[in-house]
Structure 1
Amino acid sequence: MKNRKNYLQRALGLSLFVSLVVAAGCKKSFLDVPPQATPPAVTFWKTAGDADKAVNATYANLHEWTNIAFAPIAVESMGSDDAEKGSSPDDASFMNDFDTFTASSTEGQIADFWSGEYKTINLANQVLDNVPAISMDGNLKNRYLAEVKFIRAYAYFRLVRAFGDVPLRLHLPKDASQYNIPRTPKAQVWAAIEADLTDAAAVLPQSYDANNLGRITKGAALALHAKAAMYQAKWADVLNYTNQVMSLGYTLFPNFEKQFRTDNENNSESVFEIQCAFIDGNGGASNSQYSQVQGVRGVTGGGWGFNVPTQNLVNEFETGDPRKEGTIIFRGTTTAEGDPIAAVGDNPMYNYKSYVPFSQFHNGYNEGCQQNIRVIRFADVLLMNAEAANEQGNATLALTSLEKVRARARNGNAAILPAVSTTDKVALRTAIWHERRVELAMEFDRYFDVIRQGRGAAVFGPKGWKANKNEVWPVPQNEIDLSARTLTQNPGY
């Protein structure tokens, strides 16, 4: 195992510690492994080692089933025009309800997504409420708290995009009266997200040593803050935060396709990755199913074949754009890593960004369990910068940031992807939106991008999307029932 995975092994090895700090069910039998030597809660939260375990458990939870598998695919990807269910027609057909916007409040993936994010928030709140009282190195304590504030902000970011108003809980409940709380207006949720990210960016380091590579950095906090501001159309803030990230030394990885392979995890373009790994002898810790559920169906080392690209996405790529082949695995081709894909199968194409070469499959473990999940890349930061600059009337900066992304994709081939030259604000905005789609395809942003751009009816209308309803998903009915109807439902559901 490479040094960059040393911190990761500690975090993943402690993934079962989650059972100590939150009671939650698991979706897959391989997670049903009893924790070894779990300390009673009354003896925990005493030492620096306890703080370390709790923070690592919070990290490890990020690649748990409800955070990276079916529920996020349903809620964050299926509604877009980039992706459809895939797999075989009769396998998990409920996923089609997200593609046609007919998913109801009783749909299990909606409930899983909601509970998965609140599990993350609960873990974060336990750290934030308990670690301050531990006697330990002050700088390390502050860094731990900053890392966890980022994780909490990330969970709320996902929730508010998906549901709008959501209950905002920033501390553990002190008594029974605090368990059921109403939905908080989304403006206040966004404000809490931004406050956490401001605090985190002020403390987090720009980088780590090899043993801690993969922990959350200052750049990650600034980039997520820019993204939160973008969803609120706070363009001056987006420009400010992306400019700061652009000064921190990130660079675009030279090869678009190769940046997503396991050999190039945590590369120069990576701003925030969820860390995953194959750990020999520890199936409970090698539990990421992100690659498995999206892998090429019907081959050893592939996967289940869900969340596949659409022809609509294929058609969006400009002629000769190598990102098409770096994003989509087509039937009847051979991957750049040498895996032949049969010409006949359940689906005509698969997600290349989640692909792990079949030779890296370990029998008895999830296919691709070692694949890190790229959440924020520097290319995204550049495109946010371009969009914000254009909205602020700075076409020169917008074109400069946009061209950096296109130039990397062009990879020296002057015959493809000509530089965008228009300074017309509307035309440049359209060009940036196009670039976001092809650059970030299959990375769980397209659906929410279209919504924030106000184009839901135009783009998703043919799929069944309805204005004043489908801007958000329904609140899970079971959560409403458990709250004794303290929670309310979104309009139209």
Structure 2
Amino acid sequence: MRKIFLTLSIFSLIISCSDDFVDIKDEGQTGVGDFFKTQEDAIEATSAIYSFLRSWENTGFPAQFVFGVTGDDVEKGSNPSDASFINAYDQFTYTVSDDGVRGYWIGQWQAVNRANQVITNVPNIEMDATLKTRLVAEAKMLRAYFYFNLVRIYGGVPIYDGLPADGNYLKSRNSADEVYAFIVKDLTEASDVLPQTYPLADLGRVTKGGALGLLSKVYLYMKEYQKAYDTSNQVIALGYSLDPDFNHLFRPAGEFGSESVFEVNCDCSAAYGGSQYAEVQGVRNQFGWGFFTPTQALEDAFEAGDIRKELTILREGETTLEGDLIKKNDPQAGNTWNQKVYVPTSLNNSTCGSYGSIQNFKILRFADILLINAEAANELGNTAVAISNINKVRTRAQLADTTASTQSALRLAIWQERRVELAMEMDRFPDLVRTGQAETYLGPLGFKTGKNELFPIPLDAMNASAGLFTQNPGY
């Protein structure tokens, strides 16, 4: 398969002062000027967007720095002396110069660029018209996902609807409201085109349900509760269902199951390799590096009898349901890890060079859709629907129905259910920010209201913006 060389514009200089982040054209690669000629080119360029979803920047350290450790359900992990710089994210002491702040920014913009290459260039290719329309829709949904990540972490950012015709990437930040409107437009247009299912050979491509599901979550962040409710109802009507077995859901056999709404295919392949998502979090020196481990606060958050607790937290000395004895090989490491990324030894495929490289990355599950629907319904005063949906999630966890019955009590119950259902899936920090609970839960860790809701724009991006960027408050 040919490598795709997509020339990065001057905007790459805004997001990076290092050649490490600029694509260099090597012998055997295809330059962008010679690319985007055939249907195969269109397919390969779209696949390049998908390859980013499993990347280090989107599933490894940079993503965990900003979405993981900043929540109160995840801490650094490993051993105290290993990568102690990560504590800056747990304690909210990171600065404009931190590599994580910069690395996540760079990665998401590179992904936006890949999507825009498809959105701009594929329409000009003579090829199957239906496929062309679908590939552009896929790129729009994926671009919306990257912008959703950017706006939640950095606030308003520049909007690039395709590659700028004049080649000028130097522009001011758009407002967060404008970015959200752009995301809604992309997802709405994508959902009108994308199919709900694909042949097995295309497993993992984004779907109508994925676009609508992400749109319902975006509306929830916008506090557009009627739209979040209506859109999540559209997703529910598509036929998704909860996996009855919470453990099965997170093992390889449960991938792309009935609960999968938006899931990254990390199957080991010659073209794209696997993913380090599981390796980074695997049991220290038994399976992986042992980072990003559950906190005591998460342990304490589960109700008595909630089966999710022991299926979320993997413990030193336990024997898993699949027969692995958990035994770390670092006496200074902690004793608990994220069980949701555990790949049984019998199923591990090391062809791609690391433990758990086949473990898919679940971006959006049907349980999340039910809780989005419940939250939106409750804010609209429809407590009966809210109670029904939260109880569906609780029933799988082998818990009794919620006792909450008023709007205010249900609001807290739904937020709590999100905490334990989606634990360690990089939802906790943005949930705390959007619901106004961050100071309560994260204040003792160093979170400051009015500052830490957002990360800073990286220093080199500020310096390269020719004065067009305004820094986020407090930095």
**TM-score, normalising length: structure 1:** 0.90
CA contact (8 A) 1:21 1:123 kept: no
The answer to whether 1:71 aligns with 2:77 is: no
Could you tell me which of 297, 305, 311 is aligned with 2:290? 305
Secondary structure of residue in 1 paired with 2:262: strand
Matched, 1:213 2:203: yes
- For residue 3 of structure 1, what is the aligned residue in structure 2? none
Deviates most, 165-174 or 181-190: 165-174
Deviation at 1:341, TM superposition (A): 1.3
Deviation per CA, 1:24-73: give whole Å up to 9, x if none: 89x9x9xx999784223222111111111111111112112111110000
Number of aligned pairs? 463
Q: Which of residues 260, 263, 275 is equivalent to 2:253?
A: 263
1:362-401 equivalence runs, <5 A: 362=350, 365-401=353-389
Unaligned runs of 5+ in 2: none
Q: Is 1:254 aligned to residue 244 of structure 2?
A: yes
Query: Amino acid of the residue matched to residue 93 of structure 1?
Result: S
* CA deviation string 1:286-327 (max 9, x = no partner): 24111111111121xx11111101010010001111101111
CA separation in 1, counterparts of 2:106 and 2:355? 25
For the 8 Å contact 1:243–1:385, the answer to whether it is kept is yes
Query: Cα distance, 1:263 vs. partner?
Result: 2.1
2:75 is the alignment partner of 1:84: yes
Q: Distance in 2 between matches of 1:474 and 1:309?
A: 26
- Amino acid in structure 2 at the alignment position of 1:253: D
Sequence identity (%): 45
Q: How big is the shift at 1:21?
A: 4.9
CA deviation after TM superposition for structure 1 residue 421, in Å = 3.7
Residue 357 of structure 1 is aligned with which of 344, 347, 351? Answer: 344
Question: Pairwise mapping of residues 80-479 of structure 1 onto structure 2 (< 5 A)?
Answer: 80-175=71-166, 178-279=168-269, 282=270, 285-299=272-286, 302-342=287-327, 346-359=333-346, 360-362=348-350, 365-410=353-398, 417-479=399-461
Contact 1:286/1:370, CA 8 A, preserved across alignment? no
CA contact (8 A) 1:273 1:375 kept: yes
The residue identity in structure 2 corresponding to 1:197 is: L
Contact 1:80–1:460 (Cα < 8 Å) also in 2? yes
Give me the whole-angstrom Cα distance separating, in 1, the residues matched to 2:163 and 2:443: 41
> What is the CA–CA distance in structure 2 between the aligned matches of 1:166 and 1:474, rounded to whole Å?
12
Which of 43, 49, 53 is the matching residue for 1:62? 53
Name the SS of the counterpart of 2:146 in structure 1.
helix
TM-aligned CA distance change 1:408 to 1:106, over 3 Å: same
Shift in Å at residue 211 of structure 1? Answer: 1.5
Matched residue SS, 1:407: helix
- Is 2:154–2:456's contact at 8 Å kept on the other side of the alignment? yes
Residue 137 of structure 1 aligns with an amino acid whose one-letter code is: D
Q: Deviations over 1:388-442 (max 9, x none)?
A: 11000001100111111111121xxxxxx21014321111111111110000000
| Counterpart Cα distance in 2 of 1:470 and 1:41 | 39
Q: Map Cα deviations across residues 265-290 of structure 1 (whole Å, 9 max, x no partner).
A: 111100011111223xx4x7224111
Letter in 1 for 2:217: K
The separation in 2 between residues aligned to 1:351 and 1:215, in whole angstroms, is 26
CA distance in 2, matches of 1:239, 1:165: 25
Q: Distance in 2 between matches of 1:33 and 1:276?
A: 25
Cα offset, 1:229, TM superposition? 0.6
1:155 shift after superposition:
0.2
Q: CA deviation at 1:22?
A: 4.4
Q: 1:483, CA displacement in angstroms?
A: 1.6
Give the TM-score normalised by the residue count of structure 2. 0.94
Q: Give the Cα–Cα distance (whole angstroms) in 2 for the partners of residues 41 and 55 of structure 1.
A: 14
1:358-417: CA deviation from partner (whole Å, max 9, x where unpaired): 34152770211111100000000000000111000001100111111111121xxxxxx2
Greater shift, 421-430 or 472-481, is seen at 421-430
SS of structure 1 residue aligned to 2:110: helix
Report the Cα distance in structure 2 between the residues aligned to 1:265 and 1:241, rounded to whole angstroms: 24
- Distance between the aligned counterparts of 1:196 and 1:150, measured in 2? 6
